[in-house]
Structures are given as structure tokens and as C-alpha cells.
Structure 1
């Protein structure tokens, strides 16, 4: 923040507001914030449209930490004034209210109006690109950060690629660091499940693939910002191949993660003059790989029709999630291979339950980073975890048990 903006933010009653705290992931995020309070108590508020549910959530949180500073606010995605009032009281707003294509844009606009940092969990490319097109310049002018995809989509991949590039640059030495073409590939291994909110967001996204394609054409025609240097950032063409080191098939993983990594690379010069990224999920058995591809294709096809789309949405309720016992059995690892000037580095990002426990941790630590840390990268507007927080967030996550290491 600028000095003026920092002074304004310091006078606000809350460090962080969690909007959607009565939902499954929102409550986990609020619980993490309450449990992890250090010597300086966090000024926290939780918000939602149902006052009774928000107050009940407040009592649940106080039962975890009776000394915590937790207040309640009323806000509704259909009431823009309430969103502005909520945003104006905090340094950072966390939102877990999705699908973001349906509910997200008014809150981001309110945060820009109020001069408040914003973090979310979206994995919806159409939503993010719309924000870049509509609100980026205003957010830059306000010196605030709108940082999407602060959960498993896309922090392990985005910050893992950044960490890998830093290890490569250490090997390259000062004379070559940031001056050589760089190639990074990420390989996901995970065991876990997903929430009703994630399911609804995915079905919504699948149903809008054609509309999104048409929007991208229009956005490209009217894009205000153009590249200012000759650096290239690219995503590898999809391919399936055998990875002997992991005894598994690598399959392209259709997620927002490669776009996020690409955007971070475009903002940070340590990624070199020509950066390319490949993004895969590891599958041990070929029949499982084929089944996954066929299943994804079926979901995309069924999402195109209103009747079948509505039936798919009925499979999971938005606030629904797995038990604590199931979450405790879940885990993830993302393996990275980095290459530059003939040198190679192997790194890994690893943690527990990717869909919930660690996602709540990543989201909460992102908000804490924006609220408390100084000397963050001076990348404002609609940006990424790697561009907007970078090494500071890697250090926070390492301390919180999500490990970044060189193998």
C-alpha cells in the first residue's frame, strides 16, 4: 500500500473479514484464523446474509478460542451497499462465496471502491479474466491487490513454480540468473475429495465454455494493456506421457493453474526472457486415466443442457463437505522439474488435505500476508499469489506445515 492507503487501512476496525464463514470452507478458514492467533490478537469479523447463522458461527469460533476478537457483519451479494460497507471496515476481505461467476464480481467491485485487498478461492478462468478486463486499472490506481485462486487452485502450483525458478537461479549464478530461457513442469499427486461449492463452480464453468470462448475474443479486441517488454511466457501444448521417475502417466490437468503461473511469470523478471510451463496430473494406471478423460468429457457434455445441468447441481449441496476423518486421510504433492541453460532442479510442494484443510490454510495465510507483512512485491491490481505476495507467502506456508523443498 502507499503511505496514505496504509494509514487509512490502519484505522479500520478489522484486519480481516471472512465473507461466507457459515459455509463449509469459509468456516474452516475462520477456524484456522482463530486457532493461529499469535501474541498480537487478530481483529476478525465474519459476515454473511443470514444473521442467525453468522451469530451461531461466531459462538462456535469463540468456543475454540474464547479470547479471540470476533465480530459479526451482515452482507448480501445482492445488496451492493452492504458489500461496500463490509469491505470498508477491513484491511482484507476473504470470500468463499461461489460460484464466483455468479456471486463474485459485486464484492470485488466493492473492495476496489473501498480500497480493500481481496482474496478468494476461484478456479474459474472466465471470472478472473473478466476482473482483469473490468477492474484491474481501478485497483492499480487504488494501490490494492485483488488476488484470486488462493487455495489448492492455484497456490501450490504458482508458488511452487516460483520456488523452482529461484532454486534454478541460485544454480545459474548472478551472471545468468533471470537471463536464460526457463522450462518448468509440475506433476500433481493427490488423495482427497471436493466440496459442494467446488462441484457447483465446476459445473457452472463447464456450462459456459462456449460463452467464455466468445468473451475472450471480445476481451482480446479491447484489451487496454499490452506487453511492455520482449519477455515470452507460454504454456506447453497438452500431451500424455510416461514418467519413469514416478512410475505413472502424466496427463494434462484442465485447471486454471497454468494460466496463473503464466501470469506470475509475466510479472516477475526472474522467470527469464522465455518461460514455458507444463501442468500434469500423475495417474498410475492407464484404465484410470482413460476413465477420467471420458468422465470429464461426459460432465462437460451434460453441462450444456439446462435439464441435465440442474440434475448435476443436485448431486452436492453448496455447503456440503467431507468429515474430519476423511479430510485427515487426504494429502497432496506437486513435483516440479526446472531446466535452464542445461541445468536441472527438482522440487516439491506437499501438504495435507488439498480440498479443505490446506485450502483454508492457504487462503487464511494469504489474507494474513496482505494484512500484516511488509515489503511485498509492488504488483497491484488483479494479480496472482506469486506476483502479489511471492516469497513472503512461501515462508508463511512453510511455517504453517505446507512444505516447499528441493529434492
Structure 2
């Protein structure tokens, strides 16, 4: 495994899709809570919109701006080479996400997203997991509402139960919120692709080592 030296890169985190609905919320959170010394940048297609976002952020003068477009693979590779971690909010991921993942896998750059699209997760494993292992890139999916509250809820619940006995956990979620445009597009996309989603799951099952035990 060969992982490029992060100290040679200008940024620790680049937030891709920063001017979208979820991207802007994430940028605002980073501006308010990023640890001292964190080198981070906002990224997207429109330099004008990125500059406007930076000006609106507290401490925005220290935030970098990187232009990149999902339709321009060279720009994505350049983005990946400039940071240790890419956090992307650009979806639907099955449509717009794979070129960025490929760039990160090749560059040894960690990539995190908030996808809730099983087809995308399975395709990334099949097509890019081996390369990511070679370069040391960590590809982490579903870092949003689709998974994090449920995972943490199960983790907390299991910690309160007896050890060494079989457990089954059922989860129920109630939320008072509206879908963003990107979330709605992702959901509709997955509902319209059931055959492709099942095919991707079968392909992953053929590649993924079986757990023993």
C-alpha cells in the first residue's frame, strides 16, 4: 500500500458540491466547528457561487476555493490530488459520483459521501475497492441521515443489552422534514432502477470475500 504524504497537499478537506443545499449546510458547520489549523476548501462548478459562499462564511477568508465539474474528469483528478479528504454532497451518486471516487482511489485520497443508493455503493466496491486498497484511499459511504442515526442508535442500544446472547434490533424513525431536491432525485432514481440495483448487488456478492464465523 502506498499512501501519498498528506503534508504535501494544500488541503486537509475539500467539500465538493458546497453551493448546493446540503453542501452549504455542511460548509456552515465546518466554518463554525472546524478545529484550529484545519486547511479546507469549498469546491464546485461555479467559481462565482463558491466565492459568494466563502464571503458569507465566518472566517471565510481562510477557506480555499477549488473549481471542479463532474463532467470534467481531469478537474476531479486535480481536486483529489490537492487534498487528504474529499467530502462530496453531489448526487444522485449513481449518476454523478463515480468519476470522483475513481479519482480519489487513484490518488490515495479519502472520499466520504452521504449516499443512500445501494447500487452506487455496490458498484464502487466492485470497480474501485481494489485500487483504493493499493493506494490507501478510504471510501466511506452513507455519512448522512440514511445511516448515521440508525448506526449510532443500534450501537448505543446494543451497549445497554446483555453480552454473549443473540440479539435482534428493529429500528423506527420519525422525522419532521422535507426532502431536498438532491435527495428526492436519488430516491426516484433508485426506485426506477430495480433491475440494475439487484444486478449490482449480485456482482458485489461475486467479488466480496465471504465472512467466516
Using the size of structure 1 for normalisation, the TM-score is 0.50
- What's the counterpart of residue 49 of structure 1? 45
- What's the counterpart of residue 167 of structure 2? 182
- What's the counterpart of residue 30 of structure 2? 33
Gaps of 5+ in 2: none
Q: Are 1:127 and 2:124 counterparts?
A: no
Task: Give the 3 Å change call, closer, same or farther, for CA 34–114 of structure 1 in structure 2.
Answer: same
For 1:47 and 1:14, how far apart are their aligned partners in 2?
12
- What's the counterpart of residue 227 of structure 1? 210
- What's the counterpart of residue 161 of structure 1? 154
2:15–2:86 Cα contact (<8 Å) kept: yes
Aligned-pair Cα RMSD in Å: 1.9
- What's the counterpart of residue 196 of structure 1? 181
The partner residue of 1:65 within 55, 59, 68 is 59
Greater length-normalized contact order (CA 8 Å, ≥ 6 residues apart) = 1
For 1:52 and 1:103, how far apart are their aligned partners in 2?
21
- What's the counterpart of residue 104 of structure 2? 111
Gaps of 5+ in 1: 231-407
Task: Give the 3 Å change call, closer, same or farther, for CA 212–225 of structure 1 in structure 2.
Answer: closer
SS of the aligned residue for 2:210 comes to coil
- What's the counterpart of residue 299 of structure 1? none
SS of the aligned residue for 1:150 comes to coil
1:41–1:69 Cα contact (<8 Å) kept: no
Which of the pair has more CA radius of gyration? Answer: 1
For 2:203 and 2:85, how far apart are their aligned partners in 1?
32
After TM superposition, which residue ranges in structure 1, 4 or more long, deviate above 4 angstroms?
none
User: Which runs of structure 2 are paired with 1:314-333 in the superposition (5 Å)?
Assistant: none
Q: What CA deviation, in whole Å up to 9, does each residue of 1:44-86 have, x standing for no partner?
A: 111111121112212112xx225x5201111110111111110
Cα shift at 1:218: 4.3
1:120–1:149 Cα contact (<8 Å) kept: yes
- What's the counterpart of residue 75 of structure 2? 82
For 1:217 and 1:37, how far apart are their aligned partners in 2?
40
Task: Give the 3 Å change call, closer, same or farther, for CA 212–77 of structure 1 in structure 2.
Answer: same
The partner residue of 1:24 within 1, 21, 25 is 21
Using the size of structure 2 for normalisation, the TM-score is 0.92
User: Which runs of structure 2 are paired with 1:2-401 in the superposition (5 Å)?
Assistant: 5=3, 8-38=5-35, 40-61=36-57, 64-65=58-59, 69-168=62-161, 171-172=162-163, 176=164, 180-220=165-205, 223-230=206-213
For 1:77 and 1:160, how far apart are their aligned partners in 2?
34
